[in-house]
Structure 1
Amino acid sequence: MDSVSQFVLGASVSVAVMGRRVPLWQAAAVGAVCGTLPDLDVFLDHGDAIRNMTLHRTESHALLYLTLVSPLLAWLVAGLFRGNVKWQAWWPAIWLALITHPLLDLMTVYGTQLGLPITDHPYAVSSIYIVDPLYTLPLLICLGVALWRRGDPGLRWNRIGLALSTLYLAWSVVIQSIATGEIKQSLVDQGLPADKVLVTPTAFNTLVWRSVVITPDRYGEAYWSLLSPNRPLNVSWQPRHPELFAQVKGDWYAERVAWFSHGFYAMNEKNGKITIADLRMGEGQNYTFTFNLGSPQQWETHPQRLPSARPALSASFSALADRL
Structure 2
Amino acid sequence: MDSLTQIALGSAVGVAVMGRRTAVWKAALWGAIAGTLPDLDVVIDHGNPVLNMVRHRAESHSLFYLTLFAPLLAWVAAKVHGEMSLFKRWWLALWLVLVTHPLLDNMTVYGTQLLMPFTDHPFAVSSVFIIDPAYTLPLIVGVVAALRLKSDRGLRWNAVALALSTAYLGWSMVAQYQVTTIARAAMPAPNIAANNLLVTPSPFNTVLWRLVATTPEQYFEGYYSLLDPEPTVRWTAHPRGAELIKQHGEVDAVARIAAFSQGFFKMQTSANPGHVLLTDLRMGQEPSYTFSFDLGNAADVGAAPIQQRSMRADIGKALPWLWQRLLGHTQSSWVEQAS
**Normalised TM-score (structure 1):** 0.96
1:206 alignment partner in structure 2: 206
TM superposition shift of 1:192: 4.3
CA change 1:153–1:313 in 2 (3 A) is farther
The residue correspondences of 1:252-291 to structure 2 (distance < 5 A) are 252-270=252-270, 271-291=273-293
1:294 alignment partner in structure 2: 296
Partner SS for 1:302 = coil
CA change 1:34–1:89 in 2 (3 A) is same
**Normalised TM-score (structure 2):** 0.92
Name structure 1 gaps, 5 residues minimum.
none
The residue correspondences of 1:77-226 to structure 2 (distance < 5 A) are 77-83=77-83, 85-187=85-187, 192-195=190-193, 196-226=196-226
2:63 alignment partner in structure 1: 63
Partner SS for 2:160 = helix
Deviation string, structure 1 residues 240-262 (Cα, Å, up to 9, x no partner): 01101122122111111111100
TM superposition shift of 1:174: 0.5
Larger mean CA deviation between 10-19 and 147-156 belongs to: 147-156
2:313 alignment partner in structure 1: 310
Q: Structure 2: how far apart are the matches of 1:229 and 1:93?
A: 46
TM superposition shift of 1:310: 3.1
1:269 aligned partner, one-letter code: T
CA change 1:84–1:254 in 2 (3 A) is closer
TM superposition shift of 1:311: 2.5
TM superposition shift of 1:293: 1.2
CA change 1:191–1:43 in 2 (3 A) is closer
Partner SS for 2:306 = strand
Kindly indicate whether the alpha-carbon contact (under 8 Å) linking 2:212 and 2:220 is maintained by their aligned counterparts in 1.
yes
Partner SS for 1:112 = coil
**Is 1:322 matched with 2:325?**
yes
1:65 aligned partner, one-letter code: Y
TM superposition shift of 1:317: 3.8
Q: Structure 2: how far apart are the matches of 1:207 and 1:322?
A: 10
Q: Structure 2: how far apart are the matches of 1:317 and 1:13?
A: 36
Kindly indicate whether the alpha-carbon contact (under 8 Å) linking 2:225 and 2:325 is maintained by their aligned counterparts in 1.
no
CA change 1:301–1:191 in 2 (3 A) is closer
Kindly indicate whether the alpha-carbon contact (under 8 Å) linking 1:223 and 1:323 is maintained by their aligned counterparts in 2.
no
2:300 aligned partner, one-letter code: Q
Larger mean CA deviation between 193-202 and 261-270 belongs to: 193-202
2:255 aligned partner, one-letter code: E
Q: Structure 1: how far apart are the matches of 2:289 and 2:238?
A: 13
Larger mean CA deviation between 199-208 and 270-279 belongs to: 270-279
TM superposition shift of 1:86: 3.0
Kindly indicate whether the alpha-carbon contact (under 8 Å) linking 1:22 and 1:85 is maintained by their aligned counterparts in 2.
no
CA change 1:313–1:171 in 2 (3 A) is farther
TM superposition shift of 1:185: 0.5
Q: Structure 2: how far apart are the matches of 1:213 and 1:318?
A: 22
CA change 1:178–1:116 in 2 (3 A) is same
Deviation string, structure 1 residues 29-50 (Cα, Å, up to 9, x no partner): 0101000100000111111000
**Between Structure 1 and Structure 2, how many residues are aligned?**
322
1:145 aligned partner, one-letter code: A
TM superposition shift of 1:113: 0.2
TM superposition shift of 1:309: 2.1
CA change 1:194–1:298 in 2 (3 A) is closer
**Is 1:247 matched with 2:250?**
no
TM superposition shift of 1:89: 1.9
